[in-house]
Amino acid sequence: MGEFVRVEVAEAVATIRLDRPKVNALNTQVVAELGEAARAVDADPDVRAVVLYGGERVFVAGADIKEMAELPYARATGHARALQEALNAVARIGKPVVAAITGYALGGGLELALCADFRVAGESAKVGQPEIQLGVIPGAGGTQRLPRLIGPSRAKDLIFTGRHVGAEEALAIGLVDRVVPDDQVYAAATELVARYAGGPAVALRAAKEAIDAGLETDLATGLEIERLHFAGLFATEDQKNGMRSFVEEGPGKARFTGR
C-alpha cells in the first residue's frame, strides 16, 4: 500500500483509491504507486473486478503541473514514458474495470479513466483534455484512447480546444457510460462491475484481451486472436462446469471457480 494510492478489497471487488490532497494530482510518486497497484490487483486471484476511485470530491484533476513546468526535454521523455507505463498497467488489468468519476477528471485524470472498461460519472463531473491550454498535448494516451472511444472528430474537438465537458454531454458522446447523482457514483460503479465478480475469470480475461487486441489490428487478425482465446478456454474448469451446467440445469446456473 502506497502513501497516495491504496487497494481495498471487498467481496472480490478491488478499489484502487487515489488520495493525494487536494485534487489527486499525478506526480511521480502517485504514478509509480498507481502502476504498482494495477499490477497487484491484476495478479491477485481473489480480485475479480476493479473500481478506480479518487474520492467523493474529485477523481483526478490532472498531472502535477508544478512538477512538470520546468522539465527539460530529456527528462520530459522519461516522465511521459513512466506515466504511460503506469496507465498501460491499468489498461492491461485482465478484469472488468470501472472508473468512478466525481468532480474533475482532466488531463491525466481523463487519460486514467480511459484505461477503464467503463466510466460512471456524477452529475456535476467535468472531464476533458486541457493540455493544449498549457502549450502541449495529452501525453498519457489521450490522443490515442480518446479517438478510439468517441471517434476522431469529437476527440479532436476536445483536444484542440481543451474545453471541459459536463456529464450529460460526456454521456451523449459515449465518453462515459452512466451518469448518477454525485453521492451515488462509487456505489453505482461498484454495482456495475460486481455483476462480473462471480463470472468465469479466465474467460473474462480472454474476452477483454481479445476485444482490446482486436481493436488494434485488422479483422482477419482479430478473428484469429478470438479463435485462439476461444479454443484455449476449453482447458479450463470453468468451461467444463459451464457447459455441464447448461446441459443438466439450463442456462445461467453455472457456478464458476475462476480456474
Residue 257 lies in a domain: no
Segment 50-70 mean pLDDT: 91
Structural domain boundaries, residue 211: 201-249
Residue 259 lies in a domain: no
Q: What is the pLDDT of residue 251?
A: 84
Segment 87-102 mean pLDDT: 97
Same domain, 60 and 132: yes
Q: What is the pLDDT of residue 57?
A: 95
Of 3, 81, 77, 84, nearest in space to 37 by CA: 3
Of the pLDDT bands very low, low, confident and very high (cuts 50, 70, 90), residue 47 is very high
Same domain, 221 and 130: no
In angstroms, the Cα distances linking 140 to 26, 240, 254 are 11, 41, 40
Q: What is the pLDDT of residue 250?
A: 80
Identified catalytic residue from 11, 131, 169, 248: 131
Determine phi and psi for 78, rounding to 5 degrees: -70, -40
Q: Beta 49-53 vs 104-106: how paired, if at all? A: unpaired
Looking at 156, 175, 194, the residue that finishes a domain is 194
What does the chain come to in residues?
A: 259
State yes or no: cis peptide before 22, omega within 30 of 0. Answer: yes
Res. 64: pLDDT tops 90: no
Same domain, 118 and 227: no
Res. 1: pLDDT tops 80: no
Q: CA-CA distance, 9 to 47, in Å (whole number)?
A: 7
More confident residue, 67 or 135: 135
Q: CA-CA distance, 174 to 150, in Å (whole number)?
A: 6
Same domain, 174 and 189: yes
CB atoms within 10 A of CB 182: 16
Determine phi and psi for 69, rounding to 5 degrees: -55, -40
Q: What is the pLDDT of residue 80?
A: 87
Residue found by looking up cell 462446469 in the block: 241
Res. 228: pLDDT tops 90: yes
Same domain, 141 and 218: no
Provide the percentage of residues in the chain whose pLDDT is more than 90.
Answer: 82
Task: Give me the chain's average pLDDT, please.
Answer: 94
Provide the percentage of residues in the chain whose pLDDT is more than 70.
Answer: 100
* Three-class DSSP category at 215: coil
Identified catalytic residue from 111, 168, 216, 248: 111
Please indicate whether residue 111 is annotated as part of the active site: yes
CATH number at residue 185: 3.90.226.10
In angstroms, the Cα distances linking 55 to 166, 185, 221 are 19, 10, 40
CATH number at residue 219: 1.10.12.10
Res. 125: pLDDT tops 90: yes
Of the pLDDT bands very low, low, confident and very high (cuts 50, 70, 90), residue 213 is very high
Of the pLDDT bands very low, low, confident and very high (cuts 50, 70, 90), residue 115 is very high
Q: What is the pLDDT of residue 72?
A: 86
Q: What is the pLDDT of residue 172?
A: 98
Same domain, 149 and 215: no
Residue 228 lies in a domain: yes
Q: What is the pLDDT of residue 22?
A: 93
Same domain, 100 and 49: yes
pTM of the entire structure? 0.94
Residue 256 lies in a domain: no
Same domain, 129 and 225: no
Same domain, 145 and 242: no
Q: 230-243 burial, b for 16+ CB within 10 Å, e for fewer?
A: eeebeebebbebbe
Q: What is the pLDDT of residue 233?
A: 93
Q: Domain tally for the chain? A: 2
Please indicate whether residue 8 is annotated as part of the active site: no
Residue 13 lies in a domain: yes
Q: What is the pLDDT of residue 257?
A: 85
Of 32, 143, 47, nearest in space to 89 by CA: 32
| Best mean pLDDT range from 58-72, 113-127, 188-202, 242-256 | 113-127
Q: CA-CA distance, 162 to 41, in Å (whole number)?
A: 33
Q: What is the pLDDT of residue 31?
A: 95
Same domain, 126 and 236: no
Of the pLDDT bands very low, low, confident and very high (cuts 50, 70, 90), residue 242 is confident
Q: What angle do CA 113, 13, 183 make, to 5 degrees?
A: 60
